[in-house]
Structures are given as C-alpha cells and as structure tokens.
Amino acid sequence: MSITSAAQTSVDTRGRARHPVALRFGLVLAALISTLNAIPAVSDIGLDGSPWDILVIFLAIFCTVIAILTVVLLPFAWNGRRRPAIWIAAMQLVAIVGLLPPFVLVFTDGLPLIAPMSAAITIVLEVLTTCLILHGMRGPVRS
C-alpha cells in the first residue's frame, strides 16, 4: 500500500474511524445536547400534585443519566473506538423519548407553542448527531 492510498482511505491498521472530523463533531454535539437537555430537567422540577409529577421525576433522572453516560463515554469514543461511539449514538436516539412530552402538553396543559418547536429542533439535532457519529465510524469504501 502506497502512502497516497493510505492517506485516501484515512483508516489505520486497527480499523479506527474513517472520518474522524465527523465523528468528533458528532461526539461534541452529543455531549452538548445531552448536557443542555439535563439542565432544565433537573433545575425546573416543580411538583404540584398533578398526574404529570411522575413524568417530571422520570425525565429528570432519564436526562441526567443520558448526559452522564455520554460525557463518560466521550473520551473512549474520541479516537474512533466503535462500541463507545455506537453507545453514544444509540443514547442520542433514546433521548428523543424525553423530548416527546411537549407535543402532548401543548394540547392538554396549555404549554406555549415554543416548547414543541424547540423539542422538534432538538430532535433534528439528535438525529444529525447520530448520523455524524455513525458516518464517522463507517469503514473504508470498497471499490
């Protein structure tokens, strides 16, 4: 294998990431989104005796666990390790579950329209993050 062909495939002998820029950008975006989702879930806990209190507590725990696991796995996935990167990508897709309540609450509890709009934008960012991570982990292109 010549030097130019090795540079073109940009994959080392251990099968690490083919597109490290996409992978790293996706990982940083995943850590930011997870952390930013956990902050209001934990800081805005307002238990008022309604049936939604269980959901509020679940989302506080759920978002915090996703954020902590993402930040813990980030250094392991940074150089292209497959399992931590795939776990982070999977957690980003699972985190979409925590973004679904605003779509229901806008109709039942009179939540402002900005809540489901921001949740929709976050869902798009979660999917983009997952795509970037998986694209960064993709193996060499065979011709």
Q: Is the pLDDT of residue 23 over 50?
A: yes
- What is the rounded CA–CA span in Å between residue 85 and residue 27? 8
pLDDT single digits (tens) 80-100: 889 999 999 999 999 999 899
Tell me the domain boundaries of the chain.
Answer: 17-137
Place of tokens 């083919």: 18
Residue 106: the pLDDT is: 85
- Read off the pTM: 0.79
- What is the rounded CA–CA span in Å between residue 127 and residue 137? 15
Task: Give the CA angle between residues 81, 135, 32 to the nearest 5°.
Answer: 75
Mean pLDDT of the chain: 83
Residue 14: the pLDDT is: 56
Give the closest residue to 91 by CA, choosing from 133, 39, 55, 46: 133
